[in-house]
Structure 1
């Protein structure tokens, strides 16, 4: 199934006012996603929050099925959370680490995750070991195999790093983790809604993602997947009366499903918005979305390669919709701001966001243009013209 770009752009109000190439930061929402949230907020205003939740209980419940369909899991393996960081931390801090345990991660690991590893090293005495990259910049599978021993408690990998167009081979990593019975955590923030995700194929135990990026959902939404066989083994670091039942004066009982990682109060309008965004992506087809994003990103790389002083910084054999580049002698933040003044949006990836990879490759601040399926070829040409004019100035 192809992408009906005319229809999609008509359903994306933001395309009428901005050229948005910051989809790895936060995408433009669709009109159906916006309407879903506004309708629910009006209902809350008219009849009350508790009453609205009761009236729309079936719709709220269906969000779990939608997310499960997206990643080929089961609804009982899904928690809907405030953001991907909350989901990731609720799962990570539930792992019963002990002194001497090892965490294996990638060179291109995201800062938020890595500081949690460092915190765990500080409070529990775990050891953090970085898996070397291969010649393409991906996690080296041979090196991973050679690093394994009985002390490895967790392999934790960002599927699509924030700064390099790279797609890490998570399915191959998952096969290694499962073969050695090691817990495997995948950060899919940049790949959910962008690339096909099948937790059965990946063989991950935990996967987290956000709603605001390639899923085109509202900010302040995310989800956590925990494989059913692992749920009972992971006690959330924080619980309330939603994740657990107060069963006697000195006892509580955790929920048996992944919702033990949720809390009682949440943004119901945003949850429904996330569900509508997931349904929108599923209706289009994730394979079709991935093909169009890949096509646009390849075209953008080719256009950028023709500009003097522009250096493409993407790595990996499989490259995604994130296009990272630098401009010799020019400040990335200044270029970003000058383009933003023309209603052209892209972002800057700082070395501190992927410190190990950035240090190894001696990266400066990088300009990051992240395309989505609603972007057009004409927009890419307009962006290149605007950038070219800036570089002449």
Structure 2
């Protein structure tokens, strides 16, 4: 991306024009004005014409968003469902994979998202076991170690591709190849991947993949994408149903034969209008170019942080994403986040609950987190680094 393109992106984003320095894109990124306008326009339409009456136009925009998501993921539109959050999307698919039996095994990476682990307790109560796949020397999930764990009792392999607590990029495609060879269900939590790095569900060999709209996609909160591989759909029996996901026919209430079996009749078309615009923008920009810019910016920041006395870096893996985990000596991560926010500099902070298996394994009570976007320019970087230098004491 050229400097001119970065300036144009920033000019189209209200947050970048307000004096804010935003390095919390992994928590929630900054929407463009066009995304905000798309939300407001649908709300105005509902106020003017009636909320239900405006639904016809809203449904068209939802279909546009579905096609844009499918393009981004290299998937058919029929394999995309919308949800209210990434966690709810994952949980809907996980619950639909049951019932769980004593002796069933769920294999996860050490970096598994805490919310997914919480959802798995339903299976654990039924007698299933959650087991951790060993890591390789770099700290990434090891496909060879996974292969050695496979037996007939493994019902699910679940991978948090890009963990919330640092820059690790797990080998999602290699894990998918193991799952495919053995015919085991494979779920990917791509909450920090979609919108940051190229995602091709065909190459990943995944059966289910989810992400939130508010993160690197720059969409509104309370939106999420759920991909379900079409051939895998018959294995999923959602507990949540209504007249949309299981419409009435002469034979009774039959589940839809596409991913919309995970949706309901009640939906915010305004939020989907915003998500659709955000998806359109990232498709226009090109995810490969986004990733190139993110990789360059994060490498620049990592190098600079390593030169600041009192800062320790906590990223794993040989290839790293735009999430940077660090601590500043003498500062709790959340207190550091609060102090920087007083200067209108946004970063993130994670405690053990976000990634409990990994944080405990590395004896990390918490970390501060910088996450970058193509929106971040050299001025942002210098403001952040100068603030951290001033706080080191």
Q: Which residue of 1 aligns with 2:119?
A: 116
Find the residue that maps to 1:139 and give its secondary structure: coil
Compute the displacement of 1:331 (Å).
Answer: 2.0
- Structure 2 distance, partners of 1:335, 1:95, is 41
Compute the displacement of 1:244 (Å).
Answer: 0.3
Unaligned runs of 5+ in 1: none
Q: Which residue of 1 aligns with 2:171?
A: 169
When normalised by structure 2's length, the TM-score is 0.97
Compute the displacement of 1:261 (Å).
Answer: 0.5
Find the residue that maps to 1:163 and give its secondary structure: coil
Q: Which residue of 2 aligns with 1:289?
A: 290
- Structure 1 distance, partners of 2:352, 2:272, is 33
Compute the displacement of 1:94 (Å).
Answer: 0.4
2:109 is the alignment partner of 1:106: yes
5 Å-filtered alignment, 1:58-137, equals 58-96=60-98, 97-122=100-125, 124-137=126-139
Q: Which residue of 1 aligns with 2:161?
A: 159
Q: Which residue of 2 aligns with 1:21?
A: 23
Q: Which residue of 2 aligns with 1:319?
A: 320
Compute the displacement of 1:56 (Å).
Answer: 4.1
Compute the displacement of 1:232 (Å).
Answer: 1.7
5 Å-filtered alignment, 1:191-270, equals 191-247=193-249, 251-270=252-271
- Structure 2 distance, partners of 1:217, 1:228, is 25
> Does the CA-based 8 Å contact 1:71-1:198 persist in structure 2?
yes
Find the residue that maps to 2:355 and give its secondary structure: helix
Q: Which residue of 2 aligns with 1:377?
A: 378
Q: Kindly provide the CA deviation profile for residues 268-295 of structure 1, in whole angstroms up to 9, marking residues without a partner as x.
A: 1001111110110010000000010011
Quick check: 46-55 or 146-155, which moved more? 46-55
Find the residue that maps to 1:209 and give its secondary structure: strand
Q: Relative to structure 1, is the Cα distance of residues 2 and 235 closer, same or farther in structure 2, using a 3 angstrom cutoff? A: farther
- Structure 1 distance, partners of 2:333, 2:234, is 47
- Structure 2 distance, partners of 1:294, 1:136, is 18
Compute the displacement of 1:164 (Å).
Answer: 1.6
Q: Which residue of 2 aligns with 1:53?
A: 55
When normalised by structure 1's length, the TM-score is 0.97
- Structure 2 distance, partners of 1:271, 1:74, is 18
> Does the CA-based 8 Å contact 1:2-1:288 persist in structure 2?
no
Compute the displacement of 1:356 (Å).
Answer: 1.0
Q: Kindly provide the CA deviation profile for residues 249-284 of structure 1, in whole angstroms up to 9, marking residues without a partner as x.
A: x93211111000001101110011111101100100
- Structure 2 distance, partners of 1:357, 1:193, is 24
Compute the displacement of 1:190 (Å).
Answer: 0.4
Q: Kindly provide the CA deviation profile for residues 325-347 of structure 1, in whole angstroms up to 9, marking residues without a partner as x.
A: 01222222221111100000001
- Structure 1 distance, partners of 2:171, 2:372, is 21
> Does the CA-based 8 Å contact 2:58-2:273 persist in structure 1?
no
- Structure 1 distance, partners of 2:161, 2:333, is 25
- Structure 1 distance, partners of 2:255, 2:107, is 29
- Structure 1 distance, partners of 2:59, 2:111, is 41
Moved over 6 A (4+): none
Compute the displacement of 1:230 (Å).
Answer: 1.0
Q: Which residue of 1 aligns with 2:192?
A: 190
Find the residue that maps to 2:343 and give its secondary structure: coil
Find the residue that maps to 1:89 and give its secondary structure: helix
Compute the displacement of 1:387 (Å).
Answer: 1.1
Aligned residues: 390
Q: Kindly provide the CA deviation profile for residues 25-77 of structure 1, in whole angstroms up to 9, marking residues without a partner as x.
A: 00000111111111111111100112111134322211111110010000110
RMSD: 1.2
2:361 is the alignment partner of 1:360: yes
> Does the CA-based 8 Å contact 1:100-1:125 persist in structure 2?
yes
